[in-house]
Amino acid sequence: MSGRTHHWRDGKLITNRKTDRRNPRPRPKNRFPDIRLTCALPNTLAFAVAPGVHGYGVEVLNGGVAQIIGNSAEHCFLLARAFFAKVATERPGFTVTASIVSTEKPDKWDSRHLTIVRGAMVVSGGNVEPKVFEAA
């Protein structure tokens, strides 16, 4: 029989596949902590985006809250940029406040302002919210 092996288990000779099913291969561990970026969508966009999964790592919850999970803050920003490029291309410019939390250390968090204009995104920090002025 091709692909079969004979080995002893519990005092019996067993014909089995090449791998022993009692000893599965170890799964690789996640080397990076999960980072969660959460922001509330503005009213001009929340009614147009359905709750559910919107791509890799992006989920919109009920009430217009977007939750993005990535390996790092930069990865979350890239996923957010791709999400807003899809859903906010033909919407007026807006700024949302996003909170960034690690799953390993939930007591340490950070916040950033995400400014989206015609699908392009700018990430900024600080206490003062950036203003968006569009030419008519």
For residue 16, being part of any structural domain is answered with: no
For residue 12, being part of any structural domain is answered with: no
> Residue 68: which of 100, 92, 116 has the closest Cα?
100
Domain with 99, as residue range(s), is 35-124
For residue 134, being part of any structural domain is answered with: no
For residue 49, being part of any structural domain is answered with: yes
For residue 66, being part of any structural domain is answered with: yes
pLDDT at 90: 87
Q: What is the CA radius of gyration of the chain?
A: 23
Q: Give pLDDT tens digits for 3-50.
A: 667 777 777 877 766 555 566 666 666 666 789 999 999 998 998 999
Give the mean pLDDT of the chain: 84
Split into its structural domains, the chain has a count of: 1
Assess contact for 87 and 49: CB atoms under 8 A. Answer: yes
- Over range 109-116, report the average pLDDT: 92
Assess contact for 68 and 79: CB atoms under 8 A. Answer: yes
User: What predicted TM-score, i.e. pTM, was given to this entire model?
Assistant: 0.72
For residue 22, being part of any structural domain is answered with: no
For residue 54, being part of any structural domain is answered with: yes
Q: How far is CA 60 from CA 52, 67, 84, 90, 103, in A?
A: 5, 6, 12, 19, 19
Q: What percent of the chain has pLDDT over 70?
A: 82
